[in-house]
Structure 1
Amino acid sequence: MSINTANEIDIVKASSSKIDTVDFENLVFGNIFSDHMLTCDFRNGAWEKPVIKPYEPFLLDPSAKVFHYGQAIFEGMKAYKHEDESVWLFRPDQNWDRFNKSAERLAMPEIPSSIFIDGMKQLIDLERNWVKKGKGNTLYIRPFMIAIGSGVVAAPSTQYRFMIILSPAKSYYQGEVKVIIADHYSRAANGGIGAAKAAGNYSAQFYPTKLANEKGFQQIIWTDDATHTKLEEAGTMNVFFRINDTLYTAPTSERILDGVTRKSLIEIAKKQGIDVDVRSVLVSELVDAAKNGSLKEVFGAGTAAVVNPIVGFSYDDTYYELPKVENSFASQLKEKLTNLQYGLETDDFGWMVKV
């Protein structure tokens, strides 16, 4: 291994790379990780010096508070390689800002951009060979923070670990997605942590999603916890509804994650001249629109899949198939956003950041 320092980050390079053992044409999402990771600990009220080092397991005390009280947050991002071999990030400031909002909500320390963004750039620069060219190829980026302080007293930790790990990815495609509209289980509640990207939000979904899978559905469209009448999110994604030629999506709230893909698609849609209405959409509206033929599309939006069309939904034991739409809003918006991310169209929004 070799050690050097760059911009206040120690870099310990792996003695060899495993990149030649990876089949980049047959990747399973999130299973393979690059040679290096970034780690930085928070102790005695301050962040220590970050280190980029070989990807490896690490030890924690069995009483570490992450295991007992769930102080754990994360982000999901991607790096893209353009045809000229340059590597780019998509709106990293938005992920950094949301990460710190999640940290605040879970009583965790905020992370400075010099560690989150600058550290990420240095890590990706070291691993740029893991970012492959070609539309659909990306390097998935997972920044996360966990409570590492020991003790089982029910109180926030005083010690934390921030890390970034990287995973090469192909286009994320789930096939046809059919959903059930939730009428009992909730993803989040008012006053809760639904707007934070907290690990516990995702584990809480696993059981109701398992029940949906057993009925032949891939995901759940979550509804508000109080009345189960307002449509909120689809699985782990924000959700859009096209009724006639207007695109609807719920406003962000304490229950709904402020998705970076969501807000980007809204801006692109408006620039494309698509009417966008950000408001609560009722289950009854969706059912009525499906019955009278005005419901044209439903699709999820998130980092992994970008846009995931939904082919039908079930509510109150009735299944509603969506029509096949030529030149759908979902396909138009995904094309525009991915073209921008891969440098195939001009970035008029100033969203791309070069590594």
Structure 2
Amino acid sequence: MSADPARGLADFLTGELGDQVTVSDFRFLSAGARRRNMAFTATVDDTPRRLVATVVPPAVELMPVEAEAGVRELARAHGVPVPAVVATCTDTSYVGEPFLISEHIDGDTVPRRVLRTLAAAGTAERTAYQWGAAMARLHSIDPAQAPQAVPAAGHDPAAEHLAEVAAVVGRLLAGRPVFSLALRWLEKRLPGPPPHPALVHTDMRNGNLIVGADGLRAVLDWEGTQRFGDPMRDVAWPALRMWRFREDAKEFGGFADRDTFVRGYEESGGAFDPDRYRWWKVMGTLYWGTGLAQQAAAHLDGTVRDIVMAASGRRVSEIEWDLLMQIRPAAKA
């Protein structure tokens, strides 16, 4: 990233909008694990406009910024709450890396703050319903309408994802019997291709939502969007225990029960399949476990020497517990 990103953003917007733009109130945001988000005020003709720039380093780019902007605007046109995209830029001379600029939306994104905000306002149920409805609207979009640069799943997303995760288990977790047991459970219950492949976000969970006292305001982080995916993958992912932030009794995000979320999803046109949902929930948990193992391995082999990466390995046992609870015969879907 350049030494003066505020100046770079001002220069870019001046050229983009055709009028002199000044940038003030510039600050880096804490949100964003892999990408840098910067909030600022752009003033044109004495009119201030609050914006956010998301900088995407090539090393973590999952799709071009133009494709991400396109899929976000497509979702927004179908009623999904998404910050409007103002502009995209692939010219690295401005801030050093590609970026996109969006309208700023007030609210909380940090999960524990989200939980406190909703508890204080008494609007957790309303937010859960809105969340389910937003996901259903996304899944109603014909995935062929999305930009071609958005990655596409194959004919059988579940089988493909399982094969990828099984390879990591074999390489890093072959000596952990719970992971082998979970793999066999998933192999025996492969759901087959989805009856209605959808445009899926893949990470629409607490932490990627902007929430206020009045409820859901926006869905963030669209870089993992996939065309022709299984909609139950999207529904199951935010229900995993790691996204509940110590509020385990509330399955969705630590603030919502399943019935409320699913009601919002179905009443906005989504089709909930409990068997596919359970499969993807186990799959997501196993996938998360392999991710923790890979982080620990990167620390141990010297690729990324970081105490946080090392600590990830200690959490693998938590995933083993989650897997056992999910695949036991008496488990709720």
For normalisation by structure 2, the TM-score amounts to: 0.31
Higher percent of residues as strand: 1
